[in-house]
Structure 1
């Protein structure tokens, strides 16, 4: 009898696609639980076929606004079709997935650890209380409190959503006046993707200078297995959108960074599953920026697969299903990506030259975030504002980056000021 996996929504990017392909390859019966299955129609171009070919059943349920009803509905479904594992792949559903697993008596991450990691204020507080170095921080309810704390820690400082993802609306504040516009934007735009309400308060914190890296880990039976480190370059302030990344990265103080991440995961009792923990390496040492209770998103997970010579997504599914798994690497190489941005703001009419870009040595994947007719911006405020990502694989990082920029030069992005 086939194993039965419940997938609670999906990451529409490469990571979500790889989870679907992995489950199909493993011969697992997949039920997708979604508030709006048509949300995933965009994935069909990247999959090369309908998403319906990768899932065996779809349950249309509100996955965000009534968690108790969601749990009760899935318990009833489990009574008819026994579920062997539950996986969430996107930030907004990670807590619900952990709660479902717990209520079904299945393997999953400690829900309290997920709740803490999904709230940047709670993460800061928990790590600070465990003597793990984090930026100076304060939870603020509005402009007056933000200015008060900004004046206390000095400028520049950072303003960010408490429960955000993808670097969306993380802003560098250089003066008290700089708080006004982003705070008003947050209040006037209270909904995330998928109709999820934003946490109303914001986080003000110390601005840290230094390289941004992330440590990719798997927690299992009180052990933390380190898959590797990802490095990044980010765009110019006031926003902090990742422009390039590579995996695996080598850094000078690797042991110190890894140990801090392991200590942080243990401090919040993150006991099971993948985590993507971001760290800024300052002159005074590393500081934890955030803990994400999931596999690294976007094209990073593709780069990990190429580097490991196997599907990390397959092994994670096996782990959640109680099947034998392994994260040992079969071979080594370096993956890297370059984010594609528009040169101007307007309506996306066409992207020409994709076939030419694929002909550049080392190019393995071109993932497009936007469809023709979408409004695109030359001033990105988050990862969702990028047009897409070009990813490559090879043995030498410098050579790979040259190939990425060469591939980008082959693309002709046509943007119009009107529809």
Structure 2
């Protein structure tokens, strides 16, 4: 591929930009928010590699991209996105430059959880019963009608951000008001809590087929922030009342219902006593520590694969030959304030540990959820779990070997 032929990466973070540049030198062109670059600790790309612009208007972004590629003599062979918040912009850019990517309608269907649920219910795809509500009274009524635990979440939230499990009508009302305090609109999704084991997976959708890339069991944190994922356990396939053939067919049907016909998708789902209940699907690979976990456990670079899928007219997936069951454990801060230091020396002595990645440096400012779900993420640990102790217990044990000091902010 010519050095002038680039794949656009829209609206990602500075650490991903730095990582992707090292993986795929001279192959990418980044469209980045100036705020991201201003706060970045990493070295900035060359001016030809990165366009800094306000990402709020897709028409303005398209015009600036046109000017940039003309100025530097670039051609475009594809577009990729790694962040939920930037997928709609990526879709508009793809449409403008005739690049392969899901349509704006498909992105909106994925981002709006209420719309996702309606589309899946219309195709008889198993997913929790839910309702888009606009008041705390509606939250109370939904609970009182069903008299079962409920989950409240933003319609367009990412992952476990501002997700609340509620066991009473009053808790539903409180959760509704908490979510609305962090957004400018009144719409919130309330759904029935589904009992089971939660998993996520990455798959490749190719027309009427789907191919599994990875499966991980989600390990929830033993803390008041419901939905917070502490770790991911890499598994060959979920346990329970589920067959791979029927599940992969289900994912094709679910993707088509949302308007997705090709590309890498990340799916969250729950394996119940009766089968599978889908939670969400989004046309990007999983984030957090998952790319590092997949690389260590499967020798597969899913970030580069996402670029290959975007840039190659005919991408042929070859399943990885190796597999090691590993766990990716996130390092979360335990309080608000300024990070003074992280010492991982005791942790590195543990024979289970395969990798420790410290993302933040001393001086980093931390705010805990629900205010901020990014700044408390300090890094991750990849480890080979013992067969004789639960993964949950091992996660807590390994985290106790970290020495973290945070200078709490003065009140």
TM-score category (smaller protein): 0.7 to 0.9
| Among 99, 104, 108, the residue aligned to 2:101 | 108
SS at match of 1:83: strand
* Separation (CA, whole Å) in 1 of partners of 2:377 and 2:154: 23
1:14-413 correspondence to structure 2 within 5 Å: 18-24=19-25, 27-38=26-37, 41-42=40-41, 44=42, 50-52=43-45, 56-64=48-56, 66-80=57-71, 81-190=74-183, 200-236=186-222, 239-252=226-239, 253-255=242-244, 256-322=246-312, 326-343=317-334, 345-361=335-351, 362-368=353-359, 372-377=363-368, 383-384=373-374, 386-394=376-384, 401=391, 407-413=398-404
* Separation (CA, whole Å) in 1 of partners of 2:390 and 2:45: 35
Q: In structure 2, do the counterparts of structure 1 residues 144 and 403 end up closer, same or farther at CA, with 3 Å as the change threshold? A: closer
Report the CA distance between 1:16 and its aligned residue: 5.7
Report the CA distance between 1:167 and its aligned residue: 0.7
Report the CA distance between 1:35 and its aligned residue: 4.1
SS at match of 2:300: coil
Structure 1: which 5+ residue stretches go unaligned? 45-49, 191-197
Report the CA distance between 1:301 and its aligned residue: 1.7
Report the CA distance between 1:63 and its aligned residue: 1.0
Q: In structure 2, do the counterparts of structure 1 residues 242 and 204 end up closer, same or farther at CA, with 3 Å as the change threshold? A: same
SS at match of 1:364: strand
Aligned length: 399
SS at match of 1:86: strand
Q: In structure 2, do the counterparts of structure 1 residues 17 and 305 end up closer, same or farther at CA, with 3 Å as the change threshold? A: farther
Q: In structure 2, do the counterparts of structure 1 residues 74 and 360 end up closer, same or farther at CA, with 3 Å as the change threshold? A: same
CA shift digits 1:111-158 (9 cap, x unpaired):
322221111111101100011011111101111222222222223211
Contact 1:348 1:376 in 2 (8 A): no
Q: In structure 2, do the counterparts of structure 1 residues 132 and 29 end up closer, same or farther at CA, with 3 Å as the change threshold? A: closer
SS at match of 2:75: coil
* Separation (CA, whole Å) in 2 of partners of 1:257 and 1:82: 39
* Separation (CA, whole Å) in 2 of partners of 1:373 and 1:270: 39
**Could you state the TM-score of these two structures normalised by the residue count of structure 2?**
0.86
* Separation (CA, whole Å) in 2 of partners of 1:52 and 1:268: 35
Structure 2: which 5+ residue stretches go unaligned? none
* Separation (CA, whole Å) in 2 of partners of 1:336 and 1:148: 40
Contact 2:366 2:376 in 1 (8 A): no
CA shift digits 1:77-124 (9 cap, x unpaired):
445532222211101001111221122011222332222111111110
RCO higher in structure (CA 8 A, sep ≥6): 1
CA shift digits 1:225-247 (9 cap, x unpaired):
21121111113456110012122
Contact 1:6 1:87 in 2 (8 A): yes
SS at match of 1:208: coil
* Separation (CA, whole Å) in 1 of partners of 2:316 and 2:21: 17
Once the two structures are overlaid, the 10-residue window that deviates more, 28-37 or 310-319, is 28-37
SS at match of 2:233: strand
Once the two structures are overlaid, the 10-residue window that deviates more, 31-40 or 297-306, is 31-40
What is the RMSD of the two structures over their aligned residues, measured on CA atoms?
A: 2.9
SS at match of 2:12: coil
